[in-house]
């Protein structure tokens, strides 16, 4: 068996009939997942990625799927497609957003589907305290975990950029530490576990963010930086020789494009020499 030399981590947000930024249509998503399954790709979870970084082998066609924020459409459209193909994904959940209530219908259950907001409208609903219109409920999260389609990790508790919302560096560090601690506490209370995987809101981080994440117990830090991941990938704390230092994880943003687009990206980014050359040209 050939082993993976690089792991592509795909980044999604919305799978929705409401078009907009960072949104993949249900038709394109279904075709992409069908192709992954047909082409022999294996989706991996957070524990498997961590073990690979530690030296354990993974099959050559290993890929990770990630979804940011925890939008309702992840349940309505992504979950049933993943379930149909036996694929899995990670959802980075803003733990202050999900609410109570019964699970709503999804595309695999039949019947009327809940209305889905576009990205901008969803942001406005969240800003007005109407998160249930845009975000998963805990009952849906439980159902996704029980089905084995999604595992859930931290995207902070509030999704606030404390570097922008704080009056001083000390306030920034204090609020960030509290935000990360709240996120871990909610995941532990709701799901019975809180992992060491964290996704940065808007992809932003600096030295204070890195320090707070490490102090909170996070060791795998997902970014919006483009590219696949290698075992020799940089530690988040640049220049650190500490094997326990958090690791930055790059991702590939998935566009609302046909299967051929995704197939070409995975062909490039599972071949380290070609991937590095491609990214140098792109930059």
pLDDT of residue 241: 52
User: Distances from the Cα of 65 to the Cαs of 36, 41, 54, 102, 209, in angstroms?
Assistant: 11, 11, 20, 26, 24
Alpha carbon distance 123, 226 (integer Å):
24
Burial status of residue 175 (CB atoms within 10 A of its CB: 0-12, 13-18, 19 or more): middle
CATH class of 9-282: alpha beta
pLDDT of amino acid 8: 98
Query: What pTM, to 2 d.p., does this model score?
Result: 0.95
- The pLDDT assigned to 237 comes to 62
Return d(Cα 65, Cα 74) in angstroms, integer: 12
Q: How far apart are CA 42 and CA 61, in angstroms?
A: 6
Sign of the Cα torsion 64, 65, 67, 71 reads: negative
C-beta separation of 157 from 182 below 8 A: yes
Sketch the domain layout of the chain as residue ranges: 9-282
Residue with tokens 């809180």: 194
pLDDT digits (tens, 9 = 90+) for 162-206: 999 999 999 999 999 999 999 999 999 999 999 999 999 999 999
What pLDDT score was predicted for residue 234? Answer: 61
Q: Is the CB of residue 194 less than 8 Å from the CB of residue 161?
A: no
Give the pLDDT confidence score for residue 207 in this predicted structure.
Answer: 96
**pLDDT computed for residue 21 by the predictor:** 86
| Residue with the two structure tokens 């306030």 | 171
Q: What is the pLDDT of residue 282?
A: 84
Place of tokens 């209530």: 101
Per DSSP, 254 falls in state P
Which residues in the chain land under pLDDT 70? 233-243
Residue 215, number of CB atoms within 10 A of its CB: 13
Q: Which helix (H) or strand (E) holds 273?
A: helix 272-282
Question: CA triplet 224, 127, 198: central angle to 5 degrees?
Answer: 30
Give the total residue count for the chain: 283
């Amino acid at each position: 068996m050939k082993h993976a030399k690089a792991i592509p981590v795909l980044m999604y947000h919305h799978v929705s009939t409401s078009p907009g930024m960072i949104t993949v249509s249900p038709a394109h998503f279904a075709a992409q997942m069908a192709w992954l399954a047909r082409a022999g790709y294996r989706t991996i979870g957070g524990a498997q990625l961590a073990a690979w970084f530690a030296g354990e082998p993974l099959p050559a066609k290993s890929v990770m799927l990630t979804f940011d924020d925890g939008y309702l459409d992840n349940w309505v459209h992504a979950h049933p497609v993943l379930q149909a193909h036996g694929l899995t994904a990670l959802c980075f959940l803003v733990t202050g957003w999900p609410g109570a209530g019964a699970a709503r219908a999804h595309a695999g259950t039949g019947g009327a589907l809940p209305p889905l907001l576009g990205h901008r409208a969803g942001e406005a609903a969240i800003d007005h305290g109407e998160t249930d219109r845009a975000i998963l409920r805990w009952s849906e999260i439980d159902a996704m975990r029980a089905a084995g389609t999604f595992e859930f990790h931290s995207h902070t508790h509030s999704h606030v950029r404390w570097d922008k919302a704080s009056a001083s560096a000390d306030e920034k560090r204090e609020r960030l530490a509290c935000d990360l601690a709240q996120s871990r506490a909610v995941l532990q209370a709701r799901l019975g576990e809180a992992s060491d995987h964290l996704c940065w809101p808007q992809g932003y981080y600096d030295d204070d963010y890195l320090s707070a994440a490490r102090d909170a117990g996070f060791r795998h830090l997902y970014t919006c930086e483009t590219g696949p991941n290698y075992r020799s990938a940089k530690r988040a704390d640049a220049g650190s020789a500490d094997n326990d230092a958090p690791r930055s994880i790059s991702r590939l943003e998935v566009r609302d494009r046909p299967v051929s687009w995704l197939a070409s990206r995975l062909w490039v980014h599972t071949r380290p020499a070609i991937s590095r050359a491609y990214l140098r040209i792109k930059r």
